[in-house]
């Protein structure tokens, strides 16, 4: 049987132009390479799974490529590139500071830095999760960072920039990576689905992208998970079932019921949702997101912020026309109160039910206040 390689590894970009959603970073790095203006230390910051390590590896490969392309991309064919692509290159050293954070670990690295690379021009040292280094390890490293030998380049990566000492920050060129936008994630998943022979509904991929919340690695792992559950036919229904995501339809229906003040029907629908095994707390945060999206859908200038598929967007635009902004604000207030109390409450279900009643009362109370 063929070994299964997880998609996040299988589809790790091998060149700058296949990195999604980090265009300003990849083009700056390429320009630096073209203009031969390499810094000796870089700091890549940003959320997890957005391409920091990937870009660090591409950068290391590119500056060692023996046949650099005119657009500052690696050739991916020379000996050096091949060694990089198969993980055999001696010009790249990766240290995961999360699990190797002692002074000894750093000393080992510092000793290595002095050695000239046997092949290629540069030795690149990638230190992942650099904020995890102990204070003494940081200090041991600082000297090397101050006066690195000409052949050494450091790429430090972190998800927590605020934990990096100013002495380190001031010695690095800093790049802030973005979370990846939902539509970009969907496009990427589409291409991968096609390569894997998976038929996927756009709505299904949208659910995956939403769940990944800007991290491409998460998007790819969730994709693998749902493919192993649903097979090669990814429908919206199967994906929401597998990921335990509540169908948008429920949020739209509940909002209509709140607006019409229909308490009994709201309770029945809530009961149906609970019987599906859905978490009441998640329903409340889902409602919060829904009303936020409705608010966004109300204004022409903000509509583009909606990260949903075209058909769902239509529904948002339609529902947004049926409610006032004031109704949305009031609903958001009620939901926020519930979220604050929810964790502390023992009777969680009751807490949510009372919230649903309050949501159903918004319009009635308004009418009374006006009368």
Ligand X SMILES: Nc1ncnc2c1ncn2[C@@H]1O[C@H](COP(=O)(O)OP(=O)(O)OP(=O)(O)O)[C@@H](O)[C@H]1O
Binding site for Zn ion (CB under 5 A): 65, 67, 74-75, 78, 81
21 binds, among ligand X, Zn ion, none (CB under 5 to 8 A by kind): ligand X
Q: Is 190 in the site for ligand X (CB under 6 A)?
A: no
Answer with the entry of Zn ion, ligand X, none that 30 interacts with (C-beta below 5 to 8 A by kind). Answer: none
Residue numbers 216-275 binding ligand X by CB under 6 A: 216-217, 220
CB-neighbour burial class of residue 31 (10 A; exposed 0-12, middle 13-18, buried 19+) = exposed
CB of 82 to Zn ion, least distance (A): 8
Site track for ligand X across 159-188, x = CB under 6 A: x--------------------x--------
Q: How far is the CB of 41 from ligand X (least distance, A)?
A: 17
Closest CA to 76 of 50, 58, 91, 96: 58
Phi, psi of 36 (to 5 degrees): 55, 40
Which residue stretch of 3-11, 196-204, 272-280, 330-338 sits at the interface with ligand X (rule: CB under 6 A)?
3-11
In the bound complex, what is the minimum distance in angstroms from residue 6's beta carbon to ligand X? 9
* DSSP assignment string, 10-65: HT--SSGGG--S-HHHHHHHHHHHHTT---SEEEEESSTTSSHHHHHHHHHHHHH-
Give the nearer residue to ligand X in terms of CB position, either 50 or 207. Answer: 50
What is the distance between the alpha carbons of residues 3 and 363, in angstroms, rounded to a whole number? 59
Minimum distance of Zn ion from residue 40's CB (angstroms): 22
| Contact between 175 and 43 (Cβ < 8 Å) | yes
317 binds, among ligand X, Zn ion, none (CB under 5 to 8 A by kind): none
- Structural tokens at position 33: 């390479």
CA distances from 47 to 119, 127, 181 (A): 34, 16, 13
If DSSP states are collapsed to H, E and C, what string results for 183-215? HHHHHHHHHHHHHCCCEECHHHHHHHHHHHCCC
Residue 78 or 306: which CB sits closer to Zn ion? 78
Q: How far is the CB of 340 from ligand X (least distance, A)?
A: 31
Instruction: Find the binder of ligand X among 11, 125, 250, 258 (CB under 6 A).
Output: 11
Residue 97, token pair as written in the block: 């500071």
Cβ-based nearer residue to ligand X, 212 or 273: 212
Of 318, 320, 294, which Cα lies nearest the Cα of 306?
Answer: 294
**Residue 19 partner contact from ligand X, Zn ion, none using kind-dependent CB cut-offs of 5 to 8 Å:** ligand X
Radius of gyration of the chain (CA): 26
| Token duo for residue 330 | 């009031």
Residue (216 or 356) nearer to ligand X, CB: 216
Shorter beta-carbon distance to Zn ion: residue 58 or 328: 58
Q: DSSP secondary-structure letter at 128?
A: E
Residue 8 interaction partner, one of Zn ion, ligand X, none, beta carbon < 5-8 Å per kind: ligand X
Strands (E), the chain: 41-45, 92-96, 123-128, 152-158, 173-176, 199-200, 233-234
Distance, in Å, from the CA atom of 342 to the CA atom of 347, rounded to the nearest integer, reads 9
- Per CB under 6 A, contacts with ligand X among 15-54 are 19-22, 48-54
Beta carbons of 43 and 168 less than 8 angstroms apart: yes
The option from ligand X, Zn ion, none interacting with 81 (CB < 5 to 8 A, set by class) reads Zn ion
Tokens linked to 17:
């132009």
Residue closer to Zn ion by CB (options 78, 274) is: 78
Eight-state DSSP code of residue 245? -
Site string for ligand X, 127-156 (x = CB under 6 A): -x----------------------------
CB of 271 to ligand X, least distance (A): 40
Q: How far is the CB of 55 from ligand X (least distance, A)?
A: 7
Q: Which stretches of the chain bind ligand X, using CB under 6 A?
A: 8-9, 11-13, 19-22, 48-54, 128, 157, 159, 180, 216-217, 220
């Amino acid at each position: 049987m063929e070994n299964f390689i997880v998609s996040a590894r299988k589809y790790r970009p091998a060149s700058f132009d296949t990195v999604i959603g980090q265009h300003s970073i990849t083009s700056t790095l390429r320009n630096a390479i073209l203009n031969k203006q390499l810094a000796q230390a870089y700091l890549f910051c940003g959320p997890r799974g957005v391409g920091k390590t990937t870009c660090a590896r591409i950068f290391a490969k590119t500056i060692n490529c023996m046949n650099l392309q005119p657009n500052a991309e690696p050739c991916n064919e020379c000996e050096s590139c091949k060694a990089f692509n198969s993980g055999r290159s001696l010009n790249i050293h990766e240290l995961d500071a999360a699990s190797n954070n002692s002074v000894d670990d750093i000393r080992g690295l510092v000793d290595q830095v002095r050695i000239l690379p046997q092949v290629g021009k540069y030795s690149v040292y990638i230190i992942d999760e650099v904020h995890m280094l102990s204070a003494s390890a940081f200090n041991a490293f600082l000297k090397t960072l101050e006066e690195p030998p000409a052949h050494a380049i450091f790429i430090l990566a972190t998800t927590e920039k605020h934990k990096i000492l100013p002495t380190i920050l001031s010695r690095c060129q800093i790049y802030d990576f973005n979370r990846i936008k939902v539509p970009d994630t969907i496009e990427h998943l589409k291409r991968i689905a096609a390569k894997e022979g998976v038929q996927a509904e756009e709505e299904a991929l949208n659910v995956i992208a939403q769940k990944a919340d800007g991290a491409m690695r998460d998007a790819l792992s969730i994709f693998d998970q749902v493919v192993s559950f649903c097979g090669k036919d990814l429908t919206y229904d199967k994906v929401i079932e597998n990921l335990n995501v509540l169908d948008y339809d429920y949020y739209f229906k509940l909002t209509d019921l709140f607006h019409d003040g229909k308490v009994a029907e709201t309770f029945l629908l809530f009961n149906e949702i609970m019987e599906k095994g859905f978490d009441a707390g998640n329903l409340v945060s889902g409602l919060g997101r829904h009303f936020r999206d409705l608010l966004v859908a109300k204004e022409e200038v903000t509509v583009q912020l909606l990260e949903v598929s075209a058909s769902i967007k239509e529904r948002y635009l339609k529902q947004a026309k049926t409610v006032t902004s004031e109704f949305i604000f009031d609903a958001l207030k009620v939901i926020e109160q519930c979220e604050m109390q929810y964790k502390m409450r023992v009777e969680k279900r009751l807490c949510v039910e009372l919230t649903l009643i309050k949501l159903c009362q918004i319009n009635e109370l308004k009418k009374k206040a006006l009368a």
